[in-house]
Amino acid sequence: MTRSIGAHTIDNGGIHMAVLRAGNAGMTALQVFTAIPRFYGDKSTIKPERVARFKTALAKTRIKPANVVVHAAYVLSVATPDDEKWERASAGLTKELERSSALGVGSVCFHPGSAGTGDRATSAKRIAKAIVKALESIDSSTRLLVENTAGAGKTMGKTAQEVGEILSHVPKSLRARTGYGLDTCHLFSSGYDITKSKQAFTAVLDEFESATGEPPSFFHLNDSEGELGSNRDRHVLIGDGLIGKQPFEWLIQDDRSKGIPLILETPQQNYDIAADDDSPDPYDLKMMKLLL
Ligand SMILES: [Zn+2]
Ligand SMILES: [Zn+2]
């Protein structure tokens, strides 16, 4: 089965080192951050030297730029009813699309954030507004993708209907430049039982496809420490959580996992790897072996 599998590898030493670690693990997909994910990053422009190092490293691997995903900062809550916060988060999202476009990657994924005290329908429109603003500001082929969420509190993007609703507010002319991706841990913790049977698993993908009008553009492959419907966003190694190995086999067998990045966001063994050490993480190697 030819599938593009990779991981969000550690970037100690720079994003080009994350690329080399992924390449040395035999990966054909990859996810990175372009800025510190705890900050808005709305002012941080990517330096040409950094772009050059990234591209040189990528050329040494079997990872196509289209199969590289940039994960936007977690703090970019464009779902918020607060105007000031929305402006800043929206600016951060636009800036992320700018950095990622400079890197020439296939897509940026982001968590839409929390509706807070606002209602969900208005929040869906505000998320779409931020997507539109980013796409109109940055002319590129890098797509901006909504990630489904574990659904804690007022978090948006919890159901197929909600992801569909967000995307439905994007005008047709820009619609091809956006889409969504699915995280297996988030699906399970938000209440989609993908473990029951292959049919049940397929039905969940069908539900997202019919609510949005398209198949997912990436998958995050994570087992879940939290129970079904727990809304807990805690990733564990595949086989160590409550999803178990089998649903991942069903995913690999489904045609919708073909031709898109499949990214592990599972724990790493060496978070403190030396900046100049480009060896792959042993846990990633274990996961790759299990999936391929
Ligand atoms: Zn994820
Ligand atoms: Zn998560």
Q: Give the pLDDT confidence of 257-278 residue by residue, as tens digits.
A: 999 999 999 999 999 999 999 9
Residue 202 has pLDDT above 70, yes or no: yes
Would you report the helix, strand and coil content of the chain in percent, each value rounded to 5?
40, 15, 45
- Residue 147 CA to ligand 1 center (angstroms) comes to 7
- Residue keyed to tokens 């390449």: 23
SS3 99: helix
Residue 156: burial class (beta carbons within 10 Å; 0-12, 13-18, 19+): buried
State percent of the chain over pLDDT 90: 99
Torsions phi, psi of 71, nearest 5? -90, 120
Q: How far is the CA of 190 from the centre of ligand 1 (A)?
A: 13
CA of 173 to the centre of ligand 2 (A): 31
Mean pLDDT, all residues of the chain: 97
Token pair of 21 as six digits: 């670690």
Distance (angstroms) between ligand 1 centre and the Cα of 114 equals: 16
Region of 206 on the Ramachandran plot (φ > 0 left; ψ -120 to 50 alpha; else beta): alpha
CA distance linking residue 292 with residue 288, whole number of Å: 6
Residue 291 belongs to what H/E stretch? helix 282-291
Q: Which ligand is nearest to the CA of 189?
A: 2
Q: Which ligand sits nearest to residue 181's alpha carbon?
A: 1
pLDDT for 62-93, tens place per residue? 999 999 999 999 999 999 999 999 999 999 99
User: CA-CA distances (angstroms) from residue 112 to 24, 107, 226, 234?
Assistant: 33, 15, 21, 18
- 114: tokens are 């929390």
How many angstroms separate the alpha carbon of residue 220 from the centre of ligand 1?
A: 5
Ion ligand 2: protein residues whose beta carbon lies under 5 Å:
233
Global pTM reads 0.97
Ligand 2 centroid–CA 167 distance in Å is 21
| pLDDT at residue 1 in the model | 63
